Amino acid sequence: MGFPGFRVGIVYSYNDAVVECGRRMSSFGLVSSQTQYLIASMLSDDQFIGKFLLESAERLETRHKNFTDGLHQVGIKCLSGNAGLFLWMDLRELLMESTVEAETALWRGIINEFKLNVSPGSSFHCSEPGWFRVCIANMNEETMKVALARIREFVRRNGDKLNRKEKCRQSDLRLRLSFRRMDDVLRSPCIMSPHSPIPQSPLVQART
């Protein structure tokens, strides 16, 4: 169980190794007496806890649906989920290349230019660049609308960059194919024949 706003977590396990590990780690992040008292009082109120968990689940479900729907409208996919405080959005198509360095560059653009606090997947040892974690539990409806508007603008700008890059890539590909066709022509028996009317250059002769 976790309390993100309080920066408090609880480990309840029958596994002695897990409990011992948690006990040792807790030495580096002790919870204040005031926070312990507040949480203990809250957890002791069964009626409050029942209502709180139900209301929290409903709000998170609504927030998750609204946020993912907004992302889907601009072509951003998310990992499927049915619970939790976070979601993973897929920005792989916005990477200039599939590397951690490209992911970091994209993340810096999100942070510095659009002021959106998201976490790159490399911070969580994701095996594939381009995934970003978003916390949906710490925003109200107005904040969510602002965040989605900024994400739409971010996707539009970076989509334009990728389109320009793709056009350059296609142009370069056509150029390489053109040179390849010329190379095939120069390698043909007709051209390589000593009786060819086309004079052979030193480059052509060196490759025969």
We report the CATH number of the domain holding residue 125 as: 3.90.1150.10
Across 140-164, b (16+ Cβ under 10 Å) vs e yields: eeeeeeebbeebeebbeebeeeeee
32 found inside a domain:
yes
Whether residue 53 is found in the same domain as residue 150: yes
Whether residue 76 is found in the same domain as residue 159: yes
d(CA 5, CA 33): 16
Please report the pLDDT score of residue 207 as a whole number: 43
The tally of domains found in the chain comes to 2
pLDDT band of 39, cuts 50, 70, 90:
confident
- The predicted model scores a pTM of 0.65
186 found inside a domain:
no
Please report the pLDDT score of residue 201 as a whole number: 40
Whether residue 91 is found in the same domain as residue 34: no
DSSP track, 94-153: G-SSSSHHHHHHHHHHHHHHH----EEGGGGT-SSTTEEEEE-TT--HHHHHHHHHHHHH
- Lookup: tokens for 173: 């590909």
Whether residue 16 is found in the same domain as residue 101: no
- Ranking 9-23, 45-59, 83-97, 166-180 by mean pLDDT, the lowest is 166-180
Whether residue 25 is found in the same domain as residue 87: no
Tell me what the mean pLDDT of segment 118-143 comes to.
92
Please report the pLDDT score of residue 30 as a whole number: 82
Tell me what the mean pLDDT of segment 17-23 comes to.
90
**Residues 102-125: tens digit of each pLDDT:** 999 999 999 999 999 999 999 999
**Residues 163-202: tens digit of each pLDDT:** 555 554 454 545 455 545 555 555 555 544 544 444 444 4
Whether residue 37 is found in the same domain as residue 52: no
Whether residue 118 is found in the same domain as residue 142: yes
Whether residue 71 is found in the same domain as residue 160: yes
| Full domain range(s) for residue 162 | 47-172
pLDDT band of 204, cuts 50, 70, 90:
very low
Q: 124 near 113, Cβ under 8 Å?
A: no
Tell me what the mean pLDDT of segment 80-102 comes to.
90
Please report the pLDDT score of residue 2 as a whole number: 62
Name the percent of the chain lying above pLDDT 70: 75
Please report the pLDDT score of residue 200 as a whole number: 43
pLDDT band of 137, cuts 50, 70, 90:
confident
Whether residue 60 is found in the same domain as residue 159: yes
Whether residue 55 is found in the same domain as residue 137: yes
Name the percent of the chain lying above pLDDT 90: 43
N-term to C-term CA, the chain:
74
Please report the pLDDT score of residue 71 as a whole number: 93
Greatest Cα pair distance, the chain, in angstroms, is 100
Whether residue 73 is found in the same domain as residue 85: yes
Whether residue 107 is found in the same domain as residue 118: yes
